[in-house]
Structure 1
């Protein structure tokens, strides 16, 4: 029996969810008030399909299993999972989630793609079944990157998170259940720390955008693809591992090497960042860069799976 993903809001993230679900053989019902949304989404799916084919399609997978409807109530009828992807404004998300909660079957999980808001804030105007409104934060491109952060709020029961975990696993995601709610969740807080430091380096004239990116691509980024932050530093301690690394390099953490607050986004800094990125793009349109990124990610995902097969069971341990 096929499963149905109902997608509310079809920007880049919403379309990413649509492409992933279609590739996994799900039916997708989408709602977006923009009259241009259906054409935009179908073009997006067509552009992503070659990469999804290389990863491997589920039986019955087809772009033709996408249906656009003209009302929220119709969109969520028959849903096994609902994914909200409206713009990142809390009052708007609260309004849309309350409307979804009012018309969706009470047992259906409602995931919000928010990158920063806490689920308790998202739930507050949902009186029918607030606990099933959770954060389900993916990463762009959603149709390729498998991580989804799941965060329950004040009224969420463990069984609701477990149900959500099973559903996202069925979409071949790797759910990371966040132990307690916090703004920005886990991955975005880590990325924001690096982003703030990168902006300081450009602002202070230490490096260009291209040089900062090269430092990540050819240095820490290669290791992080396999081991992440902690295991990378564990190896830095030699045979004694993390304990020796902390004894040796831990005191340096107190040195003022990094800056916790972002620099002021002055016109000068904005120009440096924009001009640097345009130089790196070298006149290539974003669509071409998207394809290059997707080709790389497909190959990289195969490589990560080859060297970290134990990650198959990771979802059950976190």
Structure 2
């Protein structure tokens, strides 16, 4: 038995191969694999991604790769013959294989009493939702960083307002991929304080805040990338504190919902915004998230 590690000794990471097999783009499977492996500390997957697998010959190549790098096989295959080929190949290689969507699909099928579709890539069809997402993405790019007048902003579902470097742009892009038309307006000391947004009637205006210490860290990293001077007001602690306090007070005075992004990822911020939009539709809008 190996001796116990000392309290301060870090645990070595565990690496393992995970083979992701999809007959479509593989986006769903990749996201699921990342979400699951993130639940394990010190575990690092070595991903092998096989997208658009739609023939026996392609599956033979997949199985050859699995044999070369033994590990867990996850799949979202719809075609019954390809599934059988993968399952039989994994049994022969003594490798675990998991149909990632099977439990959910099976439960819904039993509940709905409906037959399963065998159409490959059904979630990526060029339908209304797809074109709505593309339109939302175009809108986000055209109304980034305060671009567009009030009349154009009225076409938004949500307008994000905040000081520089509060993740407004990436959050708008993320929301666009969900079909939400999002614009953003930066608060610039001495130029823009968001007052014009009070005239908006259709969009939900949301204020994004962040702690001064975190904001300075982000801005310094930004200046490093630009090889810019670090002595400007942009990263001065007192000025940044004043900037963030004024922003929060402006949001509160106007009654806008506020989201603190200090410890939130873009995905978490977008989820909070989605909740606010849902609550607005049911007339239960809160104030701070």
Question: What is the TM-score when the length of structure 1 is the normalising length?
Answer: 0.28
Question: What is the TM-score when the length of structure 2 is the normalising length?
Answer: 0.30
Q: Which has the higher strand share?
A: 2
For the pair shown, the structure with the greater C-alpha radius of gyration is 2
